[in-house]
Amino acid sequence: MKIARFYRKTLFGMFAMMGLIVASTSALYVYTIGHQLNDDLQKNSRAIARSIADSDIDLIVNRNYSALQSVIDQYVEIPGISYVFVVDAHGDVIAHTFVPGVPEVIAADYRDQRRVYNREIPGMGSFTEVTAGILAGEAGSVHVGVDKSYMALQVQTAIGKQVYLLTVIFIVSILVCYGLIYQVSRPLLNLRNHAWHAFSDGDRGEPPPPAEVMHLLARIDEVGELGRIIRSATWREL
């Protein structure tokens, strides 16, 4: 389907505008949903750390470390939670879920008592680690690590359907716009061919079919008026 040349820029502009809308909307979804999910996962992991710190104080104070170990082992079964470890008041790790032991990058700085750690652990991946103090930090702290790749996967899952829908809308919009522009462009192409044939003795351009000419002359818009002017002008010349 051929489109008149002066409509091609319009069509390209419409495609560019729709593409910009899809791209900007997708970027906004990625940023907004990613930021929201990241905050939610951090809040959940902090809630887990706070739950351990508040509910298992007796196990920590009474040094019932085997029972404490059983408790924290249950939390790593939660999707996204990669590791948990508990530090006592002396700064020693008294229970953890690492196998076989606490990684060196964690052992090097866990005593800094930061609220959030961003970690790169060799052989394990990237993690966001949140902490909660036991008895306001006087009896130690609980550390919970969340896998960043899990967060990224959740972001992709959350935005996947929205981006897919926007892509479908974009493709359908392109097809609809192309069809509409073609419907507008076809009478102009017929008018051009009619004019060339009328004023050049048929040496330039192929005339449109008679049915198309009759339909062209019957139009009540500007294209039809131009067609009737051309027909009137050629009759006068005859």
Average pLDDT of every residue of the chain: 77
The answer, yes or no, to whether residue 216 has pLDDT greater than 70, is: no
**Which pLDDT score is estimated for 84?**
92
Q: What is the pLDDT of residue 235?
A: 57
| 131 or 112, higher pLDDT | 131
Report pTM: 0.59
Range of 52-56, 91-95, 207-211 with top mean pLDDT = 91-95
> Is residue 5 over pLDDT 60?
no
136 pLDDT band, cuts 50/70/90, is confident
Query: 25-155 belongs to which CATH class?
Result: alpha beta
pLDDT in tens, 148-191: 888 777 777 777 777 778 788 888 888 887 777 777 777 776 67
Q: Domain limits of the chain?
A: 25-155
Banded model confidence at residue 9, pLDDT cuts 50, 70, 90: low
pLDDT tier for residue 237 given thresholds of 50, 70 and 90: very low
pLDDT band per the 50, 70, 90 thresholds, residue 207: low
DSSP track, the chain: ----HHHHHHHHHHHHHHHHHHHHHHHHHHHHHHHHHHHHHHHHHHHHHHHHHHH-HHHHHTT-HHHHHHHHHHHTTSTTEEEEEEEETTS-EEEE--SSS--HHHHTTGGG--SEEEEEETTTEEEEEEEEETTTTTTEEEEEEEEHHHHHHHHHHHHHHHHHHHHHHHHHHHHHHHHHHHHHHHHHHHHHHHHHHHHTTTSSSPPPPHHHHHHHHH--SHHHHHHHHHHHHHHHH-
Q: Is the pLDDT of residue 71 over 60?
A: yes
Least confident of 43-57, 66-80, 181-195: 181-195
Q: Does the structure show a pLDDT above 60 at 140?
A: yes
Confidence of residue 221 (pLDDT cuts 50, 70, 90): low
